[in-house]
Amino acid sequence: MEPSTYKIDIEGVVQGVGFRPFVFSLAHRLNLKGDVCNTTYGACIRLNATKEQFDNFLNQLQKDIPPLASINNIKVKTIKYKQFKDFAIIQSDAIGKKVATIPPDISICQECEKELFDKNNRRYKYPFITCTNCGVRYSIIYSLPYDRKNTSMKFFKMCKKCQEEYNNPLDRRYHAQPIGCFECGPRLELYLDDKRLDIEQKFIIDKTAQILKEGKILALKGVGGFHLMCDATDEEAILKLRERKKRPTKPLAVMVRDIKQAKKLAFISKKEEELLLSQERPIVLLKSRKNLKHIAPGLDYIGIFLPYTPLHVLLLDIINKPLVATSANISNEPICTTFKDIKRLKGVYDAILDHNREIVNVCDDSVLMVVGEKTIVLRGARGYAPINIKLPFRLENDTLGFGANQKSTVAIGFDDKIVASGYIGDLHSIESISHYKKTLDRLVDIYNFNPTVMAYDKHPYYESTKLAKNMIKDKNKASKSVQHHYAHILSVMAEKNITGKVFGVAFDGTGYGDDGNLWGGEFLVCDYKGYDRIFHFSYFKLLGGEKAIKEPRRVALSLLFEIFNEDTLKLKNHTTLSFSKTELKNHYIAWKRSLNSPLTSSVGRVFDAVASLLGISQTISYEGESGMLLERYYDSKVTKSYPYIIKDTTIDILPMIKKILEEKDRTIAVSKFFNTLVDIIDTLYKPYISLPLVVSGGVFQNRVLLELLFKRFENIIISDKLPPNDSSIAIGQIVAKI
Ligand code: ZN
Ligand code: ZN
Ligand code: FE
């Protein structure tokens, strides 16, 4: 049979994962000639082969694909005959629409770890050891395709030995873009009390471990930013860190040497163990074995993760103790990524372990939890970002989604794809807004993306909305504003490829409603074209607006005013007693006259009210704190719930609030509260049972609520790639066909 020239176009995760060398050796094995290259959409193979040879090749290509690679789409055609002399890996083709999938940063592989501890290996204890199957990717990339010259490794000239490995298709480091060694790759620098220590590379980590053992606080540059670290068994060091960082109660994550050490700290299910050990190495929230009052005050769960770079592996191996590892940032600002950034935290750290490989794309640690059989992403960043979603339809326009204001992300949508940035953070400071802009620009640059439509939140004061509006004006683009909770539900529909109508429940902190009120307890029947708000929690006044978000007691007080009006001033309970007489009076006047008291239907705020009424928390220092504090009071033996009233389209929970006030036992009150929320969903969903039940919104990060829902509704649909919080908003905005 006559040979022809075949062209195979492959889309998927095929760059930086050893795909081309795999194709190379497969072609050699089958004695076929041609070439392979990276393209802007993935990879392209050309081949001289008969039909039979070609079928065999394609079959084996898909069967033996390298572990980190995955194929989304293969297009095959025959082209004009070209006689190849051998099989070669050729220069990347940078022309065309950029749609290739950027591989995320992943943890060190077993083979590299073995070499790391092998005295005879030339990379023995080299803290940046890597190969095609592991290491940094997204955090070092400037643009596609993923080649060394498009990454921050371009500043390091390979030594002869590294170059040989890089060029040899049969080597594990063939085209491993971040390849390097002691001679040619990135280097460490250690500073103590702002003085650089003159120590040989090989001994820097030993010295760092010693510093930590002395109870000092270390700023360490990792993959996507700096961590602040200290000995997790040293209470004094932890308190020092909390005080210096002004972070009184927010839980701190702990990095442990290995799974054995993790098991000493927490109870770990099989599924949780798999997550901890996965190549993404996220922080996993685990039930702690003992009360770690300084690491996670008032909580039964702690965030644990394993070392994910050779640097962390070496450090944890030497110190052999769990280390607190929390993102190094000034509050409300993004995580520090440069030496200059980290110097702004002077006074917080005692020592800095820096290195000279630039972090191009900031990446915080990802945070996940396992509830029942489901994995819930609470923060999607390192190891997961950028997040790719394949849609069940083609988008009509290339769309840029600006996301929300908290836990923000940005996303681009084209063809039938969405690519979303990782977690950016809250847009509450100039630095975080500039970080947001940079992330957006980078994502647009990497993909050479030219949006025709800008999609943003309806909230007029969100920083993301303001930026969107400026860009729309500047560039004369089409736009759409998408209601926050509708975007929440749409994000799940997009991820889960749902095409029909759904019954959506959005329980949230707050989001801007169509009527200008702050929504957050919404029941929507919707599809991509629009939604009906069929029920919502009754409005109440948010005393002091933004201030109420930090003070659960204000929310509780407002609900008490709704029930008892002025008589509230005579009541003696946890909420009223937390105020002075004058404060109470002033609040009453403000409430009565609706001064700085926007209306809200937020369920997140109801959690706050319950926590205040029961004396669990009156003020909070981080978002979602009261919800997390409530979790530990839940008792599954309590099966009863509280009364509530459904009238027209509203859900009145004042009867429940009244009963909670009378309850003597916290456990009973909290348990009945959770049961009531599930009852409400159950009752309202019944007439719509033929529609899929979709839930999203920050409240669905609550473990107890999720457990109860999974038990009650077998087919409930919640994201597992996207967080249920506002990180999902950008995705929902893109798919809205309004
Ligand atoms: Zn490796
Ligand atoms: Zn080298
Ligand atoms: Fe939200």
Q: Give yes or no: residues 690 and 571 share one domain.
A: yes
Per-residue H/E/C for 51-64? HHHHHHHHHHHHHC
Q: Is residue 373 part of a domain?
A: no
pLDDT in tens, 307-350: 999 999 999 999 999 999 999 998 778 899 999 999 999 999 99
Amino acid at 161: K
Distance CA 507, CA 601 (A): 9
Q: What is the pLDDT of residue 169?
A: 82
Q: Give yes or no: residues 295 and 398 share one domain.
A: no
Structure tokens at 352: 């800095």
517 alpha carbon to ligand 3 midpoint, in Å? 14
Q: Is residue 261 part of a domain?
A: yes
Structure tokens at 735: 């798919």
181 alpha carbon to ligand 2 midpoint, in Å? 4
164 alpha carbon to ligand 2 midpoint, in Å? 9
Nearest ligand, CA 506: 3
Nearest to 419 by CA among 396, 433, 440, 393: 440
* DSSP conformation class of 645: E
How many structural domains compose the chain?
4
3-state helix vs strand vs coil in the chain, percent to 5 = 35, 25, 40
Amino acid at 49: A
Say if CB 486 and CB 519 are below 8 A apart.
no
Tell me the percentage of the chain whose pLDDT exceeds 70. 99
563 alpha carbon to ligand 1 midpoint, in Å? 63
Please check the confidence at residue 16 and state whether its pLDDT lies above 80.
no
Q: Is residue 378 part of a domain?
A: no
729 alpha carbon to ligand 3 midpoint, in Å? 7
Say if CB 319 and CB 212 are below 8 A apart.
yes
Distance CA 211, CA 318 (A): 12
Helices (H), 126-258: 160-167, 201-213, 235-245
Longest dimension (CA), the chain: 97
Q: For residue 540, what are the β-bridge partners?
A: 600
Q: Give yes or no: residues 403 and 462 share one domain.
A: yes
Please check the confidence at residue 21 and state whether its pLDDT lies above 90.
no
Distance CA 685, CA 125 (A): 58
146 alpha carbon to ligand 2 midpoint, in Å? 20
User: Tokens 């590892």 label which residue?
Assistant: 325
Q: Give yes or no: residues 347 and 211 share one domain.
A: yes
Give the Cα-Cα-Cα angle 339, 345, 351 (nearest 5 degrees): 70
pLDDT in tens, 167-190: 998 888 988 999 999 999 999 999
Distance CA 226, CA 224 (A): 7
148 alpha carbon to ligand 2 midpoint, in Å? 14
The residue segments making up the domain with residue 59 are 4-89
392 alpha carbon to ligand 3 midpoint, in Å? 24
722 alpha carbon to ligand 1 midpoint, in Å? 28
Q: Is residue 143 part of a domain?
A: no
Q: Can you tell me the mean pLDDT for 557-579?
A: 97
Q: For residue 13, what are the β-bridge partners?
A: 70
Distance CA 707, CA 437 (A): 37
Nearest ligand, CA 180: 2
Q: Give yes or no: residues 558 and 702 share one domain.
A: yes
Q: Is residue 516 part of a domain?
A: no
Angle of helix 654-662 relative to helix 603-613, nearest 10 degrees?
A: 20
Q: What is the pLDDT of residue 3?
A: 85
Pair type for strands 301-305 and 254-255: parallel
* DSSP conformation class of 132: T
- Which of 319, 337, 368 corresponds to the end of one domain? 368
Q: What is the pLDDT of residue 333?
A: 86
CATH number at residue 321: 3.90.870.10
Per-residue H/E/C for 611-644? HHHCCCCCCCCCCCHHHHHHHCCCCCCCCCCCCC
Q: Give yes or no: residues 319 and 418 share one domain.
A: no
Sign of CA dihedral 520, 526, 528, 530: negative
507 alpha carbon to ligand 3 midpoint, in Å? 8
158 alpha carbon to ligand 2 midpoint, in Å? 5
**Residue 639: Cβ-neighbour burial (10 angstroms; 0-12, 13-18, 19+):** exposed
Q: What is the pLDDT of residue 96?
A: 62
538 alpha carbon to ligand 3 midpoint, in Å? 18
Please check the confidence at residue 95 and state whether its pLDDT lies above 80.
no
Q: Give yes or no: residues 196 and 327 share one domain.
A: yes
Q: Give yes or no: residues 707 and 726 share one domain.
A: no
Find all residues with CB under 8 Å of 520, minimum gap 6, and list them: 485, 506, 507, 508, 509, 510, 511, 537, 600, 601, 602, 603, 604, 605, 697, 699
Nearest to 332 by CA among 436, 407, 432: 432
Q: Give yes or no: residues 360 and 457 share one domain.
A: no
Q: Is residue 601 part of a domain?
A: yes
Tell me the percentage of the chain whose pLDDT exceeds 90. 86
User: What is the per-residue burial (b if ≥16 Cβ within 10 Å, else e) of 231-259?
Assistant: bbebeebbebbbeebebebbbbbbbbbee
604 alpha carbon to ligand 3 midpoint, in Å? 10
Please check the confidence at residue 100 and state whether its pLDDT lies above 80.
no
29 alpha carbon to ligand 2 midpoint, in Å? 30
**Using 50, 70 and 90 to split pLDDT, how confident is the model at 105?**
very high
**Using 50, 70 and 90 to split pLDDT, how confident is the model at 221?**
very high
Nearest ligand, CA 181: 2
108 alpha carbon to ligand 1 midpoint, in Å? 5
373 alpha carbon to ligand 1 midpoint, in Å? 30
Q: Is the peptide bond before 386 cis (omega within 30 degrees of 0)?
A: yes
114 alpha carbon to ligand 1 midpoint, in Å? 9
579 φ, ψ (degrees, to nearest 5): -110, 155
**Three-state secondary-structure class, residue 403:** coil
- For 7, 124, 406, 419, 609, the CA distances from 545, given in Å and listed in that order, are 61, 57, 16, 34, 15
Please check the confidence at residue 94 and state whether its pLDDT lies above 90.
no
CATH number at residue 455: 3.30.420.360
Nearest ligand, CA 623: 3
Q: Give yes or no: residues 355 and 441 share one domain.
A: no
User: What is the per-residue burial (b if ≥16 Cβ within 10 Å, else e) of 507-530?
Assistant: bbbbbbbeeebbbbbbbbbbbbee
Give the Cα-Cα-Cα angle 393, 394, 397 (nearest 5 degrees): 140
Nearest ligand, CA 729: 3
Nearest ligand, CA 484: 3
Lowest mean pLDDT among 43-47, 290-294, 363-367, 655-659: 290-294
**Using 50, 70 and 90 to split pLDDT, how confident is the model at 1?**
low
Give the Cα-Cα-Cα angle 611, 616, 622 (nearest 5 degrees): 75
Q: Is residue 437 part of a domain?
A: yes
182 alpha carbon to ligand 1 midpoint, in Å? 16
Q: What is the pLDDT of residue 98?
A: 66
Q: Give yes or no: residues 356 and 443 share one domain.
A: no
CATH number at residue 18: 3.30.70.100
Nearest to 224 by CA among 148, 146, 312: 312
Nearest ligand, CA 179: 2
Q: Give yes or no: residues 240 and 317 share one domain.
A: yes
Residue 670 burial (CB count, 10 A):
25
Q: Is residue 175 part of a domain?
A: no
pLDDT in tens, 369-424: 999 989 999 999 999 999 999 999 999 999 999 999 999 999 999 999 999 999 99
Question: Higher-confidence residue: 700 or 546?
Answer: 700
Q: What is the pTM of this model?
A: 0.92
Task: Count the helices and strands in the chain (H runs, E runs).
Answer: 23, 31
- Which of 44, 72, 89 corresponds to the end of one domain? 89
Q: DSSP letter string over 20-85? A: HHHHHHHHHHTT-EEEEEEBSSEEEEEEEE-HHHHHHHHHHHHHS--TT-EEEEEEEEEES----S
484 alpha carbon to ligand 3 midpoint, in Å? 6
Distance CA 423, CA 253 (A): 17
Please check the confidence at residue 97 and state whether its pLDDT lies above 80.
no
